[in-house]
Every structure is written in C-alpha cells, then in structure tokens.
Structure 1
Amino acid sequence: MTKATLVGMPGGRLTQQDRQRIAAGLTDGLSYREIARRLDRPTSTITREIARNGGPAGYRPQQAHQTAIQRARRGTPAPPRAATQPSTLEQEIIEMAVRAGMPRTTARVHHDLMLSKDGRRTAAELARRLNVSPAAVSVAVNYLIQQGYARRERDPQHRRDIYVIDNDVWYHSILISRRQTIETVRATMAAAETYGLDSPVGQRLAKTAAFLEHVSLDMIESADRWRPLLT
C-alpha cells in the first residue's frame, strides 16, 4: 500500500471529503472543535490542517489534499509551523472569542496585538503576520477601536497609524459597553411607554430596562473599584 493511498483512508489521514467538510465548516463559521467533532478527529488535527494550508481565510480543500498527497509520496515531514501561526492553545482562545460573537479576523488581530511585546503593531505588521489583506486589518481594528479593545496612535515620523492594546483599554471597553447598554435601556423604555406601562408588553419591557440599567450601574462601579489592578 502506498503512502498516497493512506491519505484517503478512513480513520487514517484526512480524506478529500474530510477536507471539503473542513472548508464547509469554516464557511459556516464553525469552531475548530466543532469541525473536529463532526469529523470524529482530534481538534489538534484540524488546527494543524488549517494552519499549514492557508489558515481559515485561505483554506482550499482540493489544494490542501494535493499537497498532502505530494508530501506523502516524497515521504517528507510537513513543513514546520510558521512562528506567527498560533499554537493549539492560542487557537482555542481565538475560537472562544469567535463563539462570543467577534469576527474571526478581528479575533486574530486582537490576539496578535495581545501577544506583541509592547502591545503595538502597525497595519502592515498585522497584515504580514496574519497573512490577511490590509483592508481586512482595517475592518478588524476599526471594530476593536469601536468596542474599546484597542486604540489608534499616529506615528508622525513615518506617517502611519499604530494600533495599541494596553491595560487601560479594558477599562475603556467597560465604559463603552455601559454606554451601549444605557442606549438599549432608553430604547427599551421608550418602547415600553409606547405599548403602555399598564400593558403586559409594556411591563415586560420596563422590567427589562430596569434590570439592564441596574446591571450596567453595578458594572461601572465594579470597574472603578478594581481599576487600580490595571496600573
């Protein structure tokens, strides 16, 4: 039996159908763990497969399968993981952010900023390290800035933007989250008044608004109390 045959063996190496299902899972926004569960494979297998074949944004099942066949015929080991490719543990952190609602590229950008020594990267550095387009980086950092997870600084000497993540951004992200919650409270209360505070719908909406308002107040008081931990 040849090594090329092993590539397509059920229970052995990944088959072409496996790779097509991986690509479909990525398109559907599934986590690596969920893709692995559906294929009855270890999560680490799926992580390595995607990492060595273009990442989640550039994964092509047919090309990945042909590469695996050629590698098996040569009898050579897979190329080493690039230094900027996240480890299995790091990938799980990214997946948790994705499951929480953060776009995948944004989660990758955020994670890479977190891992930078001084918490600073330029757009060009992010694009090169993550193998994504400058436009994708721009969309990602704009989201992070809007949510308070990062900030933008201008480098006048080189006329470029630098994206920064430091301890204080977590406090500011709480402030932004509270402001968004208060906007929701006001809109919900306005809807309650529209339906009538004596109506079942109005009462339900009013209770929701009150709950959110008190939670947001507790949240900001807690953030103020524990902010010294970030300094």
Structure 2
Amino acid sequence: MTPADREQIAAGLAAGLEYAEIARRLNRPTSTVTREVARNSGPHGYRADLATRATHARARRRKPVLPAVAPLDDNHGRDATAVAAFEEQFVAMVVETGLQRMAARVLARLYLTDSGSLTAADLAQSLRVSPASISKAVAYLEGIDLLQRKRDTRRRERYVVDDDFQLRAWTASTRTNAMWASASLRGAEILGPHTPAGARLEYLGQFFERLHQDMLNGVTAATVGDALTVLAALVHAGRPLSAQELATALGWTADRVGEALRSAADSPGMADPVALRHTETGAYDVIARPERLTTRQREALSSL
C-alpha cells in the first residue's frame, strides 16, 4: 500500500464510499482496503499520513525471519552456504535409503556436528522443530542402532554418533537382509515354490540371502564398487580383456584388478543381471546371467 493509495482511501471514506468501491478504484481486493482501515483507527479515524507512519513502525518492530534450520556451529572457517547445501543433500540421500525425514535430519545434524553429540534441546533448537518431533526421531534411530544415548558430565542426556556408527549401520543392514531372506523363503514354502507367488518369494529370498552372505563374508562397499567398475569396463570394451589390459585401462594395480575380478566372480548377485565370465584364453568378459532368461527366451533372442 503506497502513500498515494492511502490518500485515496482517506478521500473515499470522507466521501462516504463503500470499501468495495474504494477497492475498485485502487484496483485492489476489497479485503486489502478493509484490513488497512481496520488496523489504522477505523473508518472514522483513518488518516493517510498516520497510517503510513504506523505501517513503518510495525515494520521496524517485526522480528527477522529465521532460516528453516540454524547453521551448524563452526570454528574452522567453513563456507556456511556450502555446508548448509550439503546438509540438505545428505538428508535427501538418507531419506532415499528409507529413513523417515525427521530421523534423517537428526542423523545428518549429529553427523555433521564436530562434537558428534547434541542434547534433545540442542536438536530441537537447531532444527527448529518441537521436542516431541526430536523424541520420536531419536527413538526411531535408537531402535535401529544408528544412534546412542549417553550422559555428559552435567548428567544431561546427549545423542551421539560415534566411531562405531558405520559398523552399527552395516550390522543393521545385514540383520535386515537376513530378515528379508528368512521371511521370503518361508513364504515361498507356504505358497509353494512352483506357484507364481511362491517363485517370486523364493527368488526374493535367495537374493537377500546372497546379499546377507556377501556382507558377512567381508565384501565391503569399496570392493563392490571396484567389481562393478571392472564389469562396466568390460561392457564398454565390448570384447574380452585380460587382467593386465583392465589394469592398464583403469589405471589400477594388478592386485586391485585381481581382487575386483575375484569379488565379481565370488558374488555374482552384486552384478545382476549380468555376470563375469572367464574365457578359455584367460581373458574376461560379461554375459547375461543364465537364470535371468529361459531357454526359449535365449533361443528367440539368438534368432533375431
């Protein structure tokens, strides 16, 4: 609302015009004019100059709008904008893994805080949410072993992610995979493995069983990454390659390539629906996993 608008409102009121007519002349909603008059002494006391001064005074009294999340404490001269952007990306990544958004926000805030620990009050204040939201989120994270509760020297409860976080996350994943495998295979027996639903559950159970065993056998994320890179290199090459050729092309040591090839061969489920094949000449290439296609499907594809 400009001073000129307020002058027109004052003139309209003095002339006995209805709010709707004043609003029409200003090309503004009637509700805007109604609010303007109501908060500035009403129709009988409205003055344009006083209304303008009152509006400026109210604007000065307004509290600054706080960001949705308080910035992380920082004593290291980091780029606050970059850190905040990364925190949002981290939260989004955690949500994509299946965690609730509030739990993901709590986990990210703890993990990105230098101390690695915060009280419930700290979390509520920094994330600008209610204590009840924090309580629910930390209970969920504790339930899946991604967070611990400890007392500090002042006997305050603090929520902590420590150096064992990765191990607990890994353990939680293996336990989840084992539960999926057990439930799916049990369902396959009940429904009958030769029925469509039973076969589907049997395949699901076998997949999670392989995944569970791979994790227990010490297959790390880095090892899986190397194995998949080798398979991608073979797909890209479009022909069999020796281990030495792979090492040269990837810029890796022979030992690293050898370990990646062994992992791909020992854990075929990680590369599904393709598989590594060791040819008679000693080279390696990639083929479709045999169980992915029926005999009829393979024959039909070969005839194309």
TM-score if structure 1 supplies the norm length?
Answer: 0.57
What corresponds to 1:98 in structure 2?
A: 95
2:179 equivalent among 177, 180, 183: 183
User: Residues 162 and 224 (structure 1 numbering): CA distance in 2 closer, same or farther, change over 3 Å?
Assistant: same
User: Residues 152 and 215 (structure 1 numbering): CA distance in 2 closer, same or farther, change over 3 Å?
Assistant: same
1:103-149, CA deviations, whole angstroms, 9 ceiling, x for partnerless residues?
A: 22222211110122121111121112112222211111122222232
Aligned sequence identity (%)? 34
1:175-223, CA deviations, whole angstroms, 9 ceiling, x for partnerless residues?
A: 1121122112111111111112333322221121111111122123225
1:5-30, CA deviations, whole angstroms, 9 ceiling, x for partnerless residues?
A: xxxxxxxxxxxxxxxxxxxxxxxxxx
Q: Is the 8 A contact 1:171 1:223 kept in 2?
A: no
Counterparts of 1:65-214 in structure 2, within 5 Å, are 84-85=70-71, 87-155=84-152, 157-214=153-210
Gap regions ≥5 residues in structure 1: 3-68, 227-231
2:222 & 2:98 partners in 1: Cα distance?
28
SS of the equivalent of 2:157 reads strand
Gap regions ≥5 residues in structure 2: 3-54, 73-83, 224-304
1:142 & 1:80 partners in 2: Cα distance?
28
Matched, 1:218 2:214: yes
Q: How many residues align?
A: 160
SS of the equivalent of 2:219 reads helix
User: Residues 163 and 223 (structure 1 numbering): CA distance in 2 closer, same or farther, change over 3 Å?
Assistant: farther
User: Residues 180 and 224 (structure 1 numbering): CA distance in 2 closer, same or farther, change over 3 Å?
Assistant: same
SS of the equivalent of 2:94 reads helix
Greater C-alpha radius of gyration: 2
1:67-114, CA deviations, whole angstroms, 9 ceiling, x for partnerless residues?
A: xx98xx88xxx7685982372332232233334332222222111101
Runs of 4+ in 1 over 6 A off after TM superposition: none
SS of the equivalent of 1:163 reads strand
User: Residues 115 and 89 (structure 1 numbering): CA distance in 2 closer, same or farther, change over 3 Å?
Assistant: closer
Amino acid at match of 1:217: Q
CA RMSD of aligned residues (A): 3.5
1:164 deviates by: 0.8
Q: Is the 8 A contact 1:186 1:209 kept in 2?
A: yes
1:222 & 1:166 partners in 2: Cα distance?
23
2:187 & 2:159 partners in 1: Cα distance?
39
